[in-house]
A and B are shown apart, each in its own frame.
Chain A
């Protein structure tokens, strides 16, 4: 880094915000460092705050939910994008967000492999539309944090030649940091850990001009549910697992704090939630079909908070339907923080007190609309 750049970084520090978690006594303080300023109209919440288009089709999966119908997914994507933007032609709806000059990142979710990941069909359809706009395959980056997860999901055979597939680290082992930007980070001490920084992936901060977020509908042991916010936040920064420890989680505030860091907030312009399949317990993982359910839905929007607010109910309703404790349950008697195994066996065991309030917290940071009464949902059935 040249000195001038560093001075710029230091000059940016006074812009940095200090967010106080107002719930916990041991509230973490966040020092946000970034040389990037927000765009005039940041991608989150974007041009459609509080608006969600939910497209459902029974035909998007086969009967047992194990196979995805690409043609139906294409139709769902077209209808969803047109409905969101009000454009008559699908291509025009994509042109609202992207130009041929853009370098576009697609933040996938590969953690729920093999059953609940950003599906090949949705990712491929996204790329097809970007290319229709004029974005060259070489300007498109599918990205995720861990290479081993991406390898297992294996997008390469399903996307055009030239599309980049990028992982920041070989695996979740915290020994590759080169792909993270030393100038963009959030510093916080959660549990006395020595490494108190979480740095943004360089690809996101330095190279991409736009980002499309493709999360899944998933239960999550720490956040209650994981959707748009956590996928873009925890999936674009290093050293984030440190926020949960021995039954306590600081995801309440950290998810939103990370998602709000520039330039991530400004560049993330489109949210496409893959709800073809979901996982209602033991998420974010889905190694078997044991806790997989089938919403057969894709949600579209630019407001990650609004989509995630709907997701909280989707996951919680499914858990209730199955007789499992609510994601809002804070009873410490449900807690067995030493045993992921027991949690996997029993949907009434938590490993962490969940923090579904992270969605509201992010709303309060200005990332979107949390109040369910103010969220406009357009439902389409195909």
Chain B
């Protein structure tokens, strides 16, 4: 009993210390990592399973232990040993429906280059961090959607094709085994969101180009660029071509000042999180095939942490180099999702 009490006291002390010192850590982050404290971590994505209890064995075989299901089925699934969230059809419909994450056959639409169009949802999660989301996915897309929702810590429910159970289970296991806790998002750009579709499309294309942004209520001085549509600098008409608009923002920020650059692909979208001591890079590969030889550049000096890729286990950060300005490394091969952890050097 004494031991338990001691352990509790020790734990409380450390939590208090961390909470007490958090402003210190944030104040002493490098400039580009400041003002990135966004939403707290939220629920992990969950598969919505409409199958009857007779399908429990297939879920167990896939390693899936938590599901969302209709309220009238919830009891039976709980009895079968699953962790269950009851989600009614009405609630599903209230949730914001997401696109299937994939390359869409819309080459050159709203694009100044040959960059293929990608249906990705990251910007929606950043725009609405407390939102509730819902995917209705065709076959072959469950794992990608799970990764996308997890990377952005989104409260998402995924209706998947039963044929995807194994892949979904593998992704869930991958996510579960990732070390460490979520950290705040790192951003270079502040977006004052007017809620308009135009602003949404701008956010979509910023995400598409790995231009890291966060929602702010007023211009944040610690961010190099702050966007407010309708302002003198960003009249509403300027967002008529969102691709050009995103390019303008990119130029204003300057590639050298970007917290993140990815070379060797235009089909991997990333989310970068960090707290001044550590950084985590979520890499989502929408291309539908393996990507190899990607080069990553992060602003700031880091040491290697752990890197994991779905289907590849531990992955090596190759040709790793860092100076006081930036860190670069290569990922020799990745599938649809890789998570790269780094440790701040100074």
Contact = CB atoms under 8 A, between A and B. Distances in A.
B292 A178 contact: yes
B322 A3 contact: yes
Given A6-B321, A183-B319, A193 B293 contact: no
Instruction: Give the bracket for the number of chain A residues in contact with chain B.
Output: 20 to 34
Contact of B287 (A175, A180, A191): A175
Contacts of A12: none
Nearest to B323: A10
Given A6-B322, A175-B291, A189 B265 contact: no
B112 A192 contact: yes
Interface in B296-335: 318-323, 328, 330, 332-333
A8 B326 CA distance: 15
A192 B250 CA distance: 9
B225 interface: no
B162 to A, nearest CB: 30
Contacts of B210: 194
B113 A242 contact: yes
B247 interface: yes
B255 A196 contact: yes
A1 B319 contact: yes
A177 B293 contact: yes
Contact of A1 (B113, B320, B333): B320
B295 interface: yes
Instruction: Give the bracket for the number of chain B residues in contact with chain A.
Output: 20 to 34
A9 to B, nearest CB: 7
A296 interface: no
A175 B262 CA distance: 13
B22 to A, nearest CB: 31
A193 B323 contact: no
A177 B290 CA distance: 11
A9 B321 contact: yes
Interface in B236-278: 243, 247, 250, 255, 262-266
B292 A177 contact: yes
B2 interface: no
A191 B115 CA distance: 11
Contacts of A189: 255
A193 B320 contact: no
Contacts of B333: 178
B139 interface: no
Interface string A5-20: 1110110000000000
B304 to A, nearest CB: 11
A245 B266 contact: no
A348 B318 CA distance: 49
Contacts of B262: 194-195
Contacts of A193: 113, 115, 266
Interface in A127-182: 174-180, 182
Given A3-B322, A6-B323, A177 B112 contact: no
Contacts of B115: 193-194
A6 B320 CA distance: 8
B209 interface: yes
B318 A1 contact: yes
A185 to B, nearest CB: 8
A322 B210 CA distance: 49
Contacts of A177: 263-265, 292-295
Interface of A: 1, 3, 5-7, 9-10, 174-180, 182-183, 189, 191-197, 199, 238-239, 241-242, 245
7 contacts: A1-B320, A175-B289, A175-B291, A182-B319, A192-B247, A192-B250, A195-B264
